[in-house]
Amino acid sequence: MEDIKLSADGRVILPQPDELSKREKEDAMGAYLMMFAAWGIGLPFPFLSLIAAFIYHMINRKKSRFVAFHSYQSLLTETLISILNAVLIIWFLVILVSSNIFKQGTSFHLNIDANFYIYLIFVIFWNIVYTVVSLIGCFKAKNGKFYYFLVFGRIAFNAYYGKRAQLKMQRQKNIKAENKPPDGF
């Protein structure tokens, strides 16, 4: 993985679209497309897309910081969405089991309360937001640009370009820095 470039005032210099190879752009774009492939294969199993995003990130994280940033941001977002979807599926399965649908000779009636419908709408909303934001991230990555998701964009940036990444790079190079930030930064 390439070194982090810093300006004279210590700010990170991000790679520009014309400095990135076509392969890097496609690999970064692929991080967001993994979600759609996993959805198509395992829609009833929300953790399949999470596993796919994790594997994609682990394979591509050492290629370049640009690819690592996008795959990590996608992985973080996929983690949240997978948890939301899994809770919905488990809740629905509990409703099915508690409704006695598996007993023969009983009438079929689901006892679904209003909270389930509220959560269903909540999950559908966040899945739509995730899909739209992932498509935007996908197109930005294809064009060699950064796109920062709310919350997860900052975390991914810090991991691959921020202070955390810079300190890791210094440790790897065994650079002895005399001035260090306080613990926890």
Q: What is the pLDDT of residues 83-132, one digit of tens each?
A: 998 899 888 888 887 776 666 655 666 778 889 999 999 999 998 999 89
Structural domain includes residue 167: yes
Question: Residues 170-179: what's their mean pLDDT?
Answer: 64
**What torsion, rounded to 10 degrees, do the Cα atoms 125, 126, 127, 131 define?**
110
pLDDT digits (tens, 9 = 90+) for 129-150: 998 999 999 999 999 999 999 8
How far is the CA of 97 from the CAs of 82, 88, 109, in angstroms? Answer: 22, 14, 11
Structural domain includes residue 125: yes
pLDDT in the model for residue 69:
95
Structural domain includes residue 15: no
Number of domains in the chain: 1
Helix (H/G/I), strand (E/B), else coil: 151: coil
Structural domain includes residue 9: no
Structural domain includes residue 136: yes
Structural domain includes residue 12: no
Structural domain includes residue 121: yes
DSSP secondary structure, 45-112, as one string: -THHHHHHHHHHHHHHTTT-HHHHHHHHHHHHHHHHHHHHHHHHHHHHHHHHHHTTTTSTTS------
CB-CB contact of 24 with 67 (8 Å): yes
pLDDT in the model for residue 43:
56
Structural domain includes residue 185: no
Q: Find the domain containing 31 and state its range.
A: 21-99+107-172
pLDDT beyond 80 at 33: yes
pTM: 0.81
28: left (phi over 0), alpha (psi -120 to 50) or beta: alpha
